[in-house]
Amino acid sequence: MQNRYSKNQMSLFEGVDGIAVILYLLLVFAGFVNIISASYNDEIEAFSFSQNYIKQIFWMGTAFTVALFILLLDSRFYHMFAYHSYALGILLLIAVLLFGREVNGAKAWFEFGSVRIQPVEFAKIATALAVARLMSNYSFSIKRIGHLVRVALIIFLPLAIIILQNDTGSGVVLCSFIFVLYREGLNKWICIPVLIVATLFICSFLFTPILLLLLLLLLFAVSSAMMIGQWRLHIVFVATICLSAIMLYVLSALLWDGALSGYVSLIIATVGGVLVAAIYALKKNISAMFLTLALFVGSMLFVPTADTIFESVLKEHQKVRILSFLGIMSDPSGADYNVNQSKIAIGSGGLFGKGFMEGTQIKYNFVPEKHTDFIFCTVGEEWGFVGSMFVLALLCGLILRLMKMGERQEEPFGRIYSYCVSAILLFHVLVNVGMTVGLMPVMGIPLPFLSYGGSSLVAFTILVFIAIRLDASPRNGLMSAVR
Amino acid sequence: MSGGNDAYIRRTILRAIVFVIFGVIALRVGYIQLFDTKYKSLADGNVLRYEVQYAPRGEIIDRNGEYLVQSKECYDLMVTYRDIGKQGFDTVRLCDLVGISKDKLLRVLRDARSAPRKATLVAPFVPTEVKVRLDEYNFPGFHSVYRTMRNYPRKIGGNLLGYLEEVNRNDIKDGEGEYKMGDYIGRAGVEAAYERHLRGKDGVKILEKDAHGAIKGSYMDGLYDTLPVAGKRITCTIDARLQAFAEELMEGKVGAVVAIEPSTGEILVMASSPTFDPDELIGRERGNNYMRLLNNKRNPLFNRAVKSKYPPGSTFKLVQGLIGLQEGVLTPAQAYPCHLGYHVGRISQKCHPHGSPLDLRNAVAQSCNAYFCYVFRDIIENRKYGSVKKGLEVWSDYVKSFGYGRKLDSDFIGEGPGTVPTRELYDKRYRGSWNSLTVLSLSIGQGELGCTPLQMANMAAIVANRGYYYIPHIVKAIEGQDSIDRRFYEKQYTKVATEHFTPIVEGMWRGVNVAGAGTSWRAHVPGLDICGKTGTAQNPHGKDHSTFLSFAPKDNPKIAISVYVEFGGFGATIALPIASLLEEYYLTDTITRPQLVDYVKNLPYNPRHYAE
């Protein structure tokens, strides 16, 4: 077999995962189409280099060249230079912190003429490589605290620098590596709290506090019941809390002029319920139940406490006074405005969208950053639900494909790296698309392959193609051909 | 491979997480795009600017085609706060151009800030030349909207024509979508009565704009735009020159003049005095002027011609005589004595000195009080009705058939009904014990009677027509319509037969045209055959009210008129000359008695009742 490869110079694409490449190309193409319509400026010539989509052609060319180059290199090269690239990445991050240019409040850019480069995009690759290299070491065991700390250090060093750059969004991306750690056998008791916190974070954007509390209550009752059995007891417990909350509410409405809102009633009932359950667990000496209760209380505290007090205890005019004092109210140009406009743009797309270059919200600049971070608005408005689902399906497909590619690796290095890439992509999609539809706070990270921007496109291309190259590793690369 | 099972579980869970995350996002995108329709309309609101194309309001002309009300182009200056931009603009220059104070501008901007996307009115009634200069400077966020404002070439008929006002909350609610904030609505007179026709229909122009509010062109090439439909032109029954003359003669006096064309019921003159210049109630000074008019003790905004309740005085004797004749309790030849009044026991009605006894014709001409006391008592004490109370009921019905004590159902909004006393009123007041002497003052048009000048003019028209009237109306024609409401073409008969009118008309004619035969000689104009009846109504507030009810010529009458001057003294003193002058002017287009005009204008007149 090896003979065939070395004889045939066209063997460059041998072993390369076609599906992943096709998904990648489709995404880049979809991105290009949407960048055209999002950034078309009718005041300058259609083919002028100052049109963003013309620049994007240049970036696409660069990306494809880099991709080819990556496929040419031997897979061992990445393993070999993982730490070097990591060190380089850290240096770049420090350099940008010292000499970089500030854009939108984040000191995260190098500027060469009209070209801006964001080192953080490349630091992600370096970190992924370093994590993969460290964890693929024969002596490495994730069960050992010392080793785990080393992984954490590798992740948190760039993260800290990135946060110092005031580019929190990009930094938090590195947290997605917990995904990889879990795959590699990280204790689920470390993962679950992280997941719960993340879920709550999302949920607090989605639900009203009272609904959130009810959901938490149900969730923990079910998990506790699954752990220790006694389903009937748990059902009675939850029902009692709900009933007493309702009674409290009705009583206060009748006798107390409605002093307690529904939410406050539920909180009081829940606190009572937790105390009762704790006493019960103490008597019966059920340790698992303590753990559940502790987690429950923790997540309850996580639900923005100040916010709930604000919403439920204060009277309307007091709220208005405080809000206007803090300058939160009437801030039409703030973050709320962006998300609102973004939702309007996506929502107005309907099933099939308004068509290419027909999106009025996009065309008339209602959506900020419409060709970069908010590119998904263009997709949503002009291509509708169908287009949005198509793009999401491509992204989902690529992530799953990368995970599958990781699983079929013989070397742990390739597997871990592949998972790192999927984790980074997943986090980007979740936060970016989530923010455009109001599920996530605005964090300012790009949508992989679709958002306009040279560093992001080239960096994601490198990220994915290293994984593709590693997957195709049975084939000899450029270096082995020389041998 | 150790832990292969564990790895498999973890792999599956991770895959599940990916699916869940994408699922949640997909559900959310689907919800926003497919189920929540609010974003669609929000997007339209973002991008589309609905520019109202205000319809020019219909114009009003008089019966001869002369303009009473015209529409003049003007502009509303609007501001959209969000579009002002960060660099701001030259406030001083804007204020100078538009003619508003800087305080006012800052106040408007503060208001506009609370609704940054909405166009807020900065200044209404900006003239075209100012608008052109504003366009030159192109202040960011400001734009002007075409509107029309009222213009009154003759400056007459304030109460008659009415005025416009910005709609209030109730109008918007009642209008069921017809009105929106900033629209104008007719508040009184013709403007209010024919609001529906005058208003027209606003159009809308849908424009696309960008996030900075800059207009990017029309939406869908104007497919959904609608053109404004101009309001209908209304032809009034008013004779503008006669109206102007009437207002001139009434100047400084309190009262009303109403003239009707008997053969059609068309109102030729409707002058309520004091009046106001309709120009005062438009433009930016409107608020101040309005308050000034509202605080004027003589109440110029009150349309006395259709709303006030005046005692008809001696003019009511015509009604009394007609009912007596119809009821058969009176014949034209019947004579009654009069010795300076009518005296029964302690009750008496005084009368001025004149020959006695008089028959009906002369009693009308001389306006004998005693005569009509006899007639009135005969009517309500008629044995065939059994009791005075029943008799009064019959009498009330007769009186109402003349249009008194009820709204005439004219096309004029706010018409008052006046009062005609009923049996129930007296039963209540005197606890059932009353008789014809108790209510004797009714016989000469005093007491509980209250009539609007419109009703009195209508009475003149009834006599002129010998027994019927057309419902008085103010509008002759509406542009685009063949006819006005059908009720204005139907004869309304009184309960008195035509033949009974002859002696009454003759009495009115004698009073004017036979020297020394009656109270109205002064109204005589050779060749015009004016018929008239003076009235001097006592009132508890001061000097008598002066009134004159008249029509001319006697045969085939062209004009029926009622003049009422509060605190004017004898009917012949002031109401009569005014009526006579107006009739002459209408019938011959000339004024042959300038000295009478001077007399009317210079008559000492001081209604102390309205003292400041």
Q: Alpha-carbon distance B478 to B164, whole Å?
A: 19
Q: Per-residue pLDDT tens for A163-188?
A: 787 777 788 788 888 888 888 887 77
Amino acid identity for residue B283 in this structure: G
pLDDT at A287: 67
Q: Between A330, A365, A426, which is nearest B211 by CB?
A: A365
Other CB atoms within 10 Å distance of the CB of residue B99: 11
Residues of A in contact with B21 (CB under 8 A): 426, 429-430
Q: Alpha-carbon distance A360 to A349, whole Å?
A: 10
Residues of B in contact with A392 (CB under 8 A): 22, 25-26, 29
pTM for the predicted model, two decimal places: 0.59
Q: Is A154 left (phi over 0), alpha (psi -120 to 50) or beta?
A: alpha
Shortest CA gap A408–chain B (Å): 12
Q: Per-residue pLDDT tens for A241-278?
A: 888 888 888 888 777 766 677 777 777 888 888 888 88
Asked if residue A331 belongs to a domain, the reply is yes
Kindly state the tokens that stand for A297: 């209380």
Most confident of A254-258, A397-401, B69-73, B600-604: A397-401
Phi (first) and psi of residue B396, to 5 degrees? -55, -45
Asked if residue A72 belongs to a domain, the reply is yes
**Residues 167-226 in B contacting A (C-alpha not used; CB under 8 Å):** 208-212, 216
Q: What is the DSSP string of A332-364?
A: TTSHHHHHHHHHHHHHTTTTT-S-TT--HHHHT
Q: Alpha-carbon distance B583 to B464, whole Å?
A: 14
Confidence of residue B465 (pLDDT cuts 50, 70, 90): very high
Same domain membership, residue A220 and residue A173: no
Contact B28 A366 (CB under 8 A): no
Q: Identify the domain boundary among A251, A279, A314.
A: A314
Q: Identify the domain boundary among A314, A336, A357.
A: A314
Which of A20, A28, A13 has the alpha carbon at shortest distance from A458?
A: A28
Same domain membership, residue A301 and residue A333: no
By the 8 A CB rule, do A371 and A52 touch?
yes
The chain A residues in contact with chain B (CB within 8 A) are 179, 182-183, 185, 202, 330, 332, 341, 343-351, 360-361, 363-366, 380, 384-385, 388-389, 392, 395-396, 399-400, 403, 407, 419, 422, 426, 429-430, 433-434, 437-439
Asked if the model's pLDDT at residue A201 lies above 90, the reply is: no
Q: Identify the domain boundary among A314, A343, A374.
A: A314
Asked if residue A195 belongs to a domain, the reply is no
Question: Average pLDDT in the A398-403 region?
Answer: 94
By the 8 A CB rule, do A348 and A355 touch?
no
Kindly state the tokens that stand for A311: 């919403």
Same domain membership, residue A383 and residue A261: no
Higher pLDDT: A172 or B12? It is B12
Q: Alpha-carbon distance A88 to A79, whole Å?
A: 15
Same domain membership, residue A171 and residue A62: yes
Asked if the model's pLDDT at residue A92 lies above 80, the reply is: yes
Q: Between A361, A400, A439, which is nearest B18 by CB?
A: A400
Residues of B in contact with A407 (CB under 8 A): 11
pLDDT at A321: 42
Asked if the model's pLDDT at residue A395 lies above 90, the reply is: yes
Q: Per-residue pLDDT tens for B386-396?
A: 888 899 999 99
Asked if residue A402 belongs to a domain, the reply is yes
Amino acid identity for residue B520 in this structure: S
Same domain membership, residue A345 and residue A307: no
Q: Does B9 touch chain A (CB under 8 A)?
A: no
Q: Does the ipTM exceed 0.90?
A: no
Contact B30 A385 (CB under 8 A): yes
- The sheet with strand B215-218 has its strands ordered as B48-53, B203-209, B215-218
Contact B46 A344 (CB under 8 A): yes
Q: Alpha-carbon distance A74 to B22, whole Å?
A: 34
Same domain membership, residue A110 and residue A246: no
Higher pLDDT: A200 or B604? It is B604
Confidence of residue A88 (pLDDT cuts 50, 70, 90): very high
3-state SS, B592-605, equals CCHHHHHHHHHCCC
Q: Which residue has the tokens 């104007």?
A: B222
Asked if the model's pLDDT at residue B224 lies above 80, the reply is: no
Name the strand (E) or helix (H) holding B110.
helix B102-114
How far CA A478 is from CA of A5, A69, A232, B360, in Å, comes to 11, 10, 66, 137
pLDDT at B397: 92
By the 8 A CB rule, do B537 and B545 touch?
yes
Interface test with A, best of B8, B29, B218 (most A CBs within 10 A): B29
Shortest CA gap A80–chain B (Å): 26
Q: Alpha-carbon distance B206 to B158, whole Å?
A: 38
Q: Does B25 touch chain A (CB under 8 A)?
A: yes
Q: Per-residue pLDDT tens for B407-448?
A: 999 988 888 899 999 888 898 888 888 888 888 889 888 888
| Average pLDDT value for chain B | 87
Asked if residue A366 belongs to a domain, the reply is yes
Asked if residue A5 belongs to a domain, the reply is no
Name the strand (E) or helix (H) holding A84.
helix A82-99
Contact B216 A364 (CB under 8 A): yes
Question: Average pLDDT in the B579-595 region?
Answer: 92
Residues of A in contact with B11 (CB under 8 A): 183, 403, 407
Q: Per-residue pLDDT tens for B332-367?
A: 999 998 888 888 877 888 888 888 888 999 999 988
Q: Does B20 touch chain A (CB under 8 A)?
A: no
Confidence of residue A474 (pLDDT cuts 50, 70, 90): low
What residues have CB less than 8 Å from A268, skipping those under 6 apart? A245, A248, A260
Considering all CA atoms of chain B, what is the largest pairwise distance in Å, rounded to the nearest integer? 144
Q: Does B277 touch chain A (CB under 8 A)?
A: no
Which of A425, A415, A413, A427 has the alpha carbon at shortest distance from A194?
A: A427
Q: Alpha-carbon distance A125 to A212, whole Å?
A: 37
Shortest CA gap A58–chain B (Å): 29
Asked if the model's pLDDT at residue B96 lies above 80, the reply is: yes
| Average pLDDT value for chain A | 78
Asked if the model's pLDDT at residue A324 lies above 50, the reply is: no
What's the CA dihedral at B115, B119, B121, B123 to 10 degrees? 130
Q: Alpha-carbon distance B460 to B559, whole Å?
A: 9
Q: Beta strands B559-565 and B542-552: pairing type?
A: antiparallel
Give me the helices (H) in A229-334, please.
Answer: 231-255, 262-284, 287-302, 305-312, 316-326
Q: Beta strands B234-236 and B491-493: pairing type?
A: unpaired
Kindly state the tokens that stand for B490: 């139907």
Same domain membership, residue A218 and residue A175: no
Asked if the model's pLDDT at residue B505 lies above 90, the reply is: yes
Interface test with B, best of A437, A439, A440, A447 (most B CBs within 10 A): A437
Q: E-strand spans in A82-146?
A: 101-103, 106-112, 115-117
Interface test with B, best of A180, A348, A363, A386 (most B CBs within 10 A): A348
Q: Alpha-carbon distance B141 to B122, whole Å?
A: 11
pLDDT at B280: 84
Same domain membership, residue A177 and residue A47: yes
Shortest CA gap B51–chain A (Å): 18
Q: Alpha-carbon distance A277 to A275, whole Å?
A: 5
Q: Alpha-carbon distance A150 to A154, whole Å?
A: 6
Same domain membership, residue A119 and residue A24: yes
Residues of B in contact with A350 (CB under 8 A): 33-34, 40
Other CB atoms within 10 Å distance of the CB of residue A159: 22
| Number of folded domains that form chain A | 2
Same domain membership, residue A445 and residue A363: yes
Question: Average pLDDT in the B30-51 region?
Answer: 76
Residue of B nearest to A185 (CA): B7
Q: Per-residue pLDDT tens for A37-49?
A: 888 766 666 677 7
Contact A433 B29 (CB under 8 A): yes
Which of A109, A34, A90, A68 has the alpha carbon at shortest distance from A454?
A: A109
Asked if residue A213 belongs to a domain, the reply is yes
By the 8 A CB rule, do B69 and B281 touch?
no
pLDDT at B113: 80
Question: Whole domain around residue A447: which residue ranges?
Answer: 12-190+326-482
Residue of A nearest to B21 (CA): A430
Other CB atoms within 10 Å distance of the CB of residue A310: 14
Query: In this complex, how many residue pairs, one in chain A and one in chain B, have their CB atoms less than 8 Å apart?
Result: 120
Asked if residue A175 belongs to a domain, the reply is yes
Kindly state the tokens that stand for B26: 């997909």
Q: Between A348, A392, A400, which is nearest B15 by CB?
A: A400
Question: Average pLDDT in the A332-340 region?
Answer: 56
Contact B39 A344 (CB under 8 A): yes
Q: Per-residue pLDDT tens for A414-460?
A: 999 999 999 999 999 998 998 888 777 677 788 999 998 888 899 99
Confidence of residue A198 (pLDDT cuts 50, 70, 90): low
Residue of A nearest to B116 (CA): A332
Residues of A in contact with B208 (CB under 8 A): 360, 364
3 state DSSP class of A373: coil
Q: Per-residue pLDDT tens for A270-308?
A: 888 888 888 887 777 766 677 677 767 766 665 555 455
How far CA B415 is from CA of B448, B451, B454, in Å, comes to 19, 11, 9
Kindly state the tokens that stand for B574: 């002031």
Kindly state the tokens that stand for B341: 């009044």
Same domain membership, residue A309 and residue A334: no
Shortest CA gap A348–chain B (Å): 4
Kindly state the tokens that stand for B37: 């329709």
Shortest CA gap A396–chain B (Å): 7
How far CA B116 is from CA of B112, B211, B213, in Å, comes to 6, 12, 11
3 state DSSP class of A199: helix
Q: Per-residue pLDDT tens for B151-167?
A: 888 888 888 888 888 88
Same domain membership, residue A213 and residue A66: no
Higher pLDDT: B403 or B91? It is B403
Q: Alpha-carbon distance B315 to B364, whole Å?
A: 9
Q: Per-residue pLDDT tens for A103-146?
A: 766 777 887 776 778 888 889 999 999 999 999 888 888 888 88
Asked if the model's pLDDT at residue A203 lies above 80, the reply is: no
Interface test with A, best of B32, B212, B220 (most A CBs within 10 A): B32
